[in-house]
Structure formats: structure tokens, C-alpha cells
A and B are shown apart, each in its own frame.
Chain A
Amino acid sequence: MQNFSYYLRLSLHNIKRAPLPYALTLMILSIGLGVFFSNATLYYWMNRDPLSEQSHMLFFPRINAVEQACDSCLTPLRVLSYKDVQKLSSSAIPSAQAGMFQSGGYARVPNTQNGPTPVTIRVTQRDFFTLFNAPFLHGQTWADNEARMELILHYNAALKFFGRTDVLGQQLLLDGELYTIVGVLENWQMLPKLYDVNNGLAITPVEEIYLPWETAYNLGIKSNSTTQSRDSRNYNENFAVNGREGEFYQAQFWVRLDTPAQQAAYRQFMDNLVASEKEAGRHPRPNGNLLHNMLDIAEAFNERNRQLDAFAMVSVLFLLVCLFNASHLSLNRYMASQFEFSLRRALGASRLQLQGQLLTDVLVNGVLAFILALLFAVLMLLLINQLLPATSALNNWQPGLILLMFGVALLASYLVTVYPAWRASYSPLNQQLKA
């Protein structure tokens, strides 16, 4: 310990002796690390697995079920129709499954003076909350998938409309219809929101209100993101029939397949389904069955943020440049103090003791560079959020992430110091002392 404090003092003394070269080295190192940290933060939030315990079991099936013949149309649409969802949920293999889409509307508490407030809605089925681990604070999910005038609120929506969360049994007026609240979710978020990647909604917050699927079709509530109609029905009239029977595509569909055996069985089920549809003359397009795992979904829908990918590549290069540069500078710095190293060797300090000194230098450098780099990363994040507004939801630092960054800073400072110090401590003694 005494040794350590001596090394520490020596390390600080060395800094004080030549402050300019040291400041330059430190500055270059922390600029490089800062750019890298800011980008790593975005990249982490963009590409993390939001449901690590079960994401490998969640799948998005797609069938090429558009009822217009087209031999060159090999890829299914990005969204599903009511009929697709119905057909795909006719299997008992998945342990949970739900069709869903995002919508929007205006809600207000009945018999109050407050005007209508815009809300985001997810129309979905009872298994949604199991599929994506959305925890209930009060109440529970719907008893089955039938139509019912019942909705589930997100924690934030409960606070927004009622100022409290225990609101089971209360009523809410949504687009002129009266619903009873049967559940309130905890303050739950999923980032990235992988269940709605195909509409580019991956970094938006989860919805405020959850509405039963069949109710939405009864009332003509449609998706507010992607909808496609592939026939000449009028979907503004009698949506309860047209929306269910027609070729109106707007939904996502997720299933949970717990084991590889179940996944294989579900693939088989999809093949059988398409074969029997083809036999019935309802599947004129080529078989294009797809079963995407949740972790591949952004790639599958071509919804990765390419700008961030490119920036990631470049910022790693930039870190490399800064590392090379800083080690070049610190080599210069250690060469300048070669004489002192040699003197201490001549007075009997072992190489091991010099190594101890070296590691202390690394620690001091690492801590200073880390602090400066964090400051710089904050500035960089502000700039990036300004220039690419889509990234503004992604700049959160968790303790784990910060610890990881500290590790990277130490490693970088070690890499920068190790070769120069080694060179300095191994120089021939007498040659140095002669001068």
C-alpha cells in the first residue's frame, strides 16, 4: 500500500513535470473514447435484446396469402390481414400468440370538464402481455379473445387521466365509446420495441391503451401506421364484415414457440396450412412462408438504422486513430524520461517494481481519461440527438454500461502506456547513464 501511494505520487509528479505533452495525450485519448462511448450508447440501445429471457422463443410468421395471382411475388406483405391472423392462430402449438396493430384516438374521462386527449392505442389479444412480459400492477388481461368493451391502461395513461393507478372498474371514453378499465400495467417499457419494427416504430414508447382485437374490428378502428388493401371493398363502411373478410392488411402476429421441436412443428403447420389453402384455391401466390425470430426482425424488415451503423463503423476507426496517436505521444513522453528509468534501474529497482509504477500510471490515466471521455460523450450525444432526432430515446446510461465504459477506458489507457513504458524500462543502462 505504501508502495502504491509512492507510485501514485511519482505518477502525479511525472505529470506535473511535463504538463503539456501529458494534457495532449489525455485529450486525444478522451476525445476518442468520448466519441466511442456516445456511439456505443446508441448502438447498445438500438441493438440490445429487450426480452433476453424469452426473445429466442418469439416468432413472427408470414404467409404469402394475397389473393391476386402473381408468380413473381415471392415475399409476403409486411403486415397481415384479419384472415391471416385467424388462420395462423388456428394451431395449438404456440404457448402464447397474439395479433396486434397500433392505432390512435382521443380519450377522456366521462363527466369531467377535460377535453379529449390524444392517446396511442395497441389493439391486441389476451396473450400480448405474456408474450412481451408486460407486468400488471392491478387487474389482469382479458379472459378470452372475444369482443368486449374493456381496456387495459399503461401506468402513465392511468396517471394522466386519473392521477392514480388503482382505477379498476372506472370508465374511459375513447373516440365516443365507453370502456371499462380491467387492468393497469406497471410502468413498463420495451426498448427497442421489437413487436412493431415493421412500421419503423422500434424506438417509440409502448402504447398507452390496450384494446381487444375483436372490439376494434367491430368498431372499425384501424391501424394508424401501415395499412394496405388489395381488393375493391370500401373499408370505410361496415368494417366489422369488410375488415374481417376482405384483403385489408394492417396487423402484426407474434407466437411463442418454446422449443426447437415446437418451432419445427409450427413451420410444418404453416406449410400444411398453405398447401390446404392452395387446394381450396385461396392461395394463388407462390409459397413464401417465413418465420422470423424476434432478434432477426429488424434485419428481416430492413428497419435497421443505417446511419447509426455507418457511424458505429467510423467511430471505431476514430478510436483506433486516437489510440495510435496517444500511444505515439506517450512513447515520446516516456522516451523523454528514459534517463530517470535507467537511473532507478541502476539504483536497484527491479523491472517488477517499474511495472508497478507503470500500472499506477495506467490507473491514473484511465480514471482521468474516463472522466473526460464521459464529459465529451455527453456533448457528443447532445450533438447526435440534435442531428439525428430519431436517436433521442436512446441516450440512457445504466450502471452496467458505465462500468463497461470504465473498463474500456482502462484497457485503452493500458494499451497506450504499455509499449512505451516497456521500451523505456528496457533501454540499455550504461548508454543512458553515460549521457
Chain B
Amino acid sequence: MSFTLLIKSLLRRKVITALLLVQLALTLALIANSAVLAWQARQLANQPTGLTLSNLLRVPIKPTLPELRSQPALGDLMERQLSAIRAVPGVVSASWMNQTPLLFGGMNGNIFVIDKQDTTNIGMVPYQLGSVSMRETLGLTLLQGRWLEETDVDTEVIVLSEQLSKQLFPDGEVLGQQTSAGRVIGVVSDVLTQRYADHQNYAIYLPWNMQSADYGYQLLVKIEPGQLDRVREQLPAVLKAVELEVDIGTLQSFAELHRTLFRSETGLAALLAVLSGLMLLVAMISAYSHALFHGVQQQKEIGIKRALGASRPRIMLEVLTESWLTTLTGAAAGVLLALLLQQQLSKVLSMPALPWYLLPLTVLLLLLCVSLATWYPARLATRVSPATATKTL
């Protein structure tokens, strides 16, 4: 078997070969880029959140009467709801908060070190208001100083997340410092607060009561492992028994919130994976039918070769080699196309560069699929008996 002959035979069918090559190249480009996007979505979804997602529950509450939305009725309502929730078996801890970590939107503001506004101002930091118990509910670890206490309520003291404290005070002197939001008394471990804030781990914890709940508030409940579903079913009735004039939103576990947070990325990745699968299928169909047609057309030629003593495996190898050759040529063009597509996609999406090992891997995958699809037609071609094939000569 000679490569020159193979290439000559391919060149005789210029258009068919060109169509096949273009299609293989596009397939490779798409699969490589989908893989990168899927990998990126996975990375995003798997980054640490600092929260125990499986045992936290969020209950969005909105009082339907304006009186209930402002103090002092609001504080009283929250207390009544929280003590009712804490009495439910399986509940470890419960707190109110103005906004839930992981969710976008809500109360954000700027913060800077007093007298150093020019150099330290950070534009968008989540202001987390809540009961003193929120440290226990969210599972925050105290890293420096102390946590908020009941006596701090409505005073000008704050606790920072670690990431924010490092940004504001790079030299490490944090405790007792004055910021535009209050005096720092402690630093706690990071959680994923708001994905689109200046940094997703920034947070200021404040001991303020909510003045009003125009947008509602959240009750966060930490539950013993394995009890979440049971408590979730009970809570609406428990809360309705406390106060009828509230609108209880959909109860969601933090695991669900976390899935929602990256849904557009994971969704796109899944969609591209489906598309890549379809492309591979299309490539296989085309390889299959190409080999089948070509085999039929070349029946005579194969018959002569067999008559002249070519063994079956040799004919088989020949058919397969042809499909490998086209696949590899198409893949070479596909590598260029993949880089080009990555360039175009990164204009609309934030997308990392293609890792070097991905392209050879995709080529290998393509080769495998094509070989698999060619195998059956190749076997058919070798079955031709020399006698029938050369009958019309």
C-alpha cells in the first residue's frame, strides 16, 4: 500500500474529499471549544462557597401589610417567626438577613478607610444585615477579633470578610480601624456572597436592624444533616401559624440556589455538549456512508487486488487508512479553525485559552469515532470475492 496512491485516489474525488474535510474540521473546532466551555462551567460551579450547601434553607418573606414592613412591628414579627422556627425539631439555628449569600441583587454600597478614600474606596460591597445568630447559621469561622453581639445592635461596628479585610488593610492591621461603614471589630471566613460584586467574597456584616422591609427579608435556617426535606415541608405551616399577613416565597435549599447561580454557564456547556454529540454522530454517519459508497464503487478494483493476492486484512487496512488520512487532514485544518472559533467566542463570552493537550485529544476522539463507523463498510468491502468482482472485465 502506498500513500502516494491513496492521495492520488483522494485527489481524483476532489469535491467529495473537500466536503468531508471541511465538515471534519468544523466538527473538531466545535468539540474542542465546547469542551473548554464545559470545563470552565465545571470550574465555576465547583469553586468553594464557604457554606454547607446541603443543610441551609432560605425562606423569602414579604409582609403584605405596610405596617408590618416597618419597625417596630417588623422586628417583632421576625422574632416571633424565628422562635417558632427554632422550636421545629431538626433546626440547628435560624436567623433573619436582609439578603441571602449566593443571590444577586440587594443592598450593596461602597466602603473605604476613613481619610484614605482615594486609595481604598471599593464601589460595590454587599451589606449583610442580620441577627447576631447569622454567624452560627451561615457557619462563618471567626479569624480575628470578635463577632457581633446583642449589645452591638444599631451601633457603628462591623465585621469584614477575610477577602475584604485584606483588600482594605493590606498590612494586616484590621481591628479597631475606622471605615466609612463603621469600626472593624472582627474578621470572618469568606463565603460566596454576590457573584457580580467587585469581588464575590466581599461582605460587610452589620448589627443593624432593618428599618423597613419594602423588598422583604430572608429567614435562613440551618438544619441537621438529612432533615432538610422534612423541615422544608413543615415550615410554611409553622410560619402561617405565626402571622397570616405574610407572603412566603419559594423555600429553596442553598444547594438549589448554588445550582441556579451558575445555571447559564452550565446550561450553555450542556447545550454545547449535546451539539458536539450530534456533530460526532453526523461525522460518523458521513464516514460510514462514504466508506460504503466508495466500497461499492471500487468493488472491481478491490476484486482485482484480491485476485492478485492481496489479503483481506490488507484491503481492510487500506480502506481504514483512507479514512484515517482524511480525518487527520481534516483535523489539521480543524485545529486552526478551533483557535479561530475560540477567538470569536471569547469576544462574546469570557473564555479561557484552549489547553495544549485538548486538541490532540479531540483529534484522537474523532479518529476513534470515524474508525468505528468505517469498520463495518470496510469489512463489507473485503468480503467481495475476486470472481464476482472481475466478472464484467
A interface residues, Cβ below 8 angstroms from B:
21, 24, 27-28, 31-32, 35, 106, 115-116, 118, 175-176, 220, 222, 224-226, 234, 236-237, 306-307, 309-311, 313-315, 317-318, 320-322, 324-325, 327-329, 331-332, 335-336, 383-384, 387-390, 419, 423, 435
Contacts and interface: CB of A to CB of B under 8 A. Distances in A.
Interface string B252-295: 00000000000111111011101100110111011001100100
B349 interface: yes
A262 B353 CA distance: 47
Nearest to B23: A324
A331 B265 CA distance: 39
A331 B271 contact: no
B304 to A, nearest CB: 15
Contact of B30 (A175, A314, A387, A390): A314
Most chain B CB within a 10 A radius of its CB, from A309, A327, A328:
A328
7 contacts: A307-B349, A310-B349, A313-B341, A321-B23, A321-B26, A322-B282, A332-B289
A317 B19 CA distance: 14
B3 interface: no
Counting from the closest, the 4 A-B pairs by CB-CB distance are A387-B267, A328-B19, A236-B211, A332-B293
A309 B16 CA distance: 32
Contacts of A21: 289, 293
B282 A325 contact: yes
Nearest to B245: A116
Given A236-B212, A388-B268, A116 B247 contact: yes
Interface stretch (B47-55, B62-70, B313-321): B62-70
Interface residues of B, number: 55
B268 A336 contact: no
B308 interface: no
Contacts of B214: 220, 222, 224
Contacts of B64: 106, 115-116
A328 B70 CA distance: 71
A325 B30 contact: no
B241 interface: no
Contacts of A115: 64
Given A313-B348, A331-B15, A318 B279 contact: yes
A86 to B, nearest CB: 23
Nearest to B265: A307
B185 interface: no
B366 interface: no
A313 B345 contact: yes
Given A106-B64, A387-B270, A390-B264, A318 B278 contact: yes
A27 B274 contact: no
A336 B293 contact: yes
A335 B215 CA distance: 69
Contacts of B62: 118
B279 A324 contact: no
Interface in B1-28: 15-16, 19-20, 22-23, 26-27
A109 to B, nearest CB: 14
Given A310-B268, A331-B16, A388 B263 contact: yes
B282 A31 contact: yes
Given A31-B278, A116-B64, A390-B264, A325 B285 contact: yes
Contacts of A234: 211
B19 A314 contact: no
Contact of B285 (A28, A35, A237, A435): A28
A315 B62 CA distance: 43
B4 to A, nearest CB: 24
B27 A321 contact: yes
Contacts of A314: 30, 33-34, 272, 275, 345
A32 B247 CA distance: 47
A24 B289 contact: yes
Contacts of A311: 268, 271-272
Contacts of A176: 65-67
Contacts of B212: 236
B297 interface: yes
B151 interface: no
Contacts of A327: 19
Nearest to B66: A176
Contact of A306 (B266, B272, B290, B349): B349
Given A321-B26, A325-B286, A332-B290, 5 more contacts: A176-B65, A306-B349, A310-B345, A332-B289, A383-B274
Residue of A234, A324, A389, A419 with most chain B CB atoms under a 10 A cut-off: A324
Given A118-B247, A176-B65, A419 B15 contact: yes
Contact of B16 (A106, A332, A383): A332
A237 B212 CA distance: 9
Nearest to B212: A236
A28 B282 contact: yes
A389 to B, nearest CB: 7
A237 B66 CA distance: 13
Contacts of B392: 435
Contacts of A307: 264-265, 267-268, 349
B268 A331 contact: no
B29 interface: yes
B289 A329 contact: yes
A115 B246 CA distance: 11
B46 interface: no
Contact of A317 (B15, B26, B349): B26
A224 to B, nearest CB: 6
Q: Which of A307, A389, A419 has the most CB of B within 10 A?
A: A307
B344 interface: yes
Nearest to B70: A236
B107 to A, nearest CB: 9
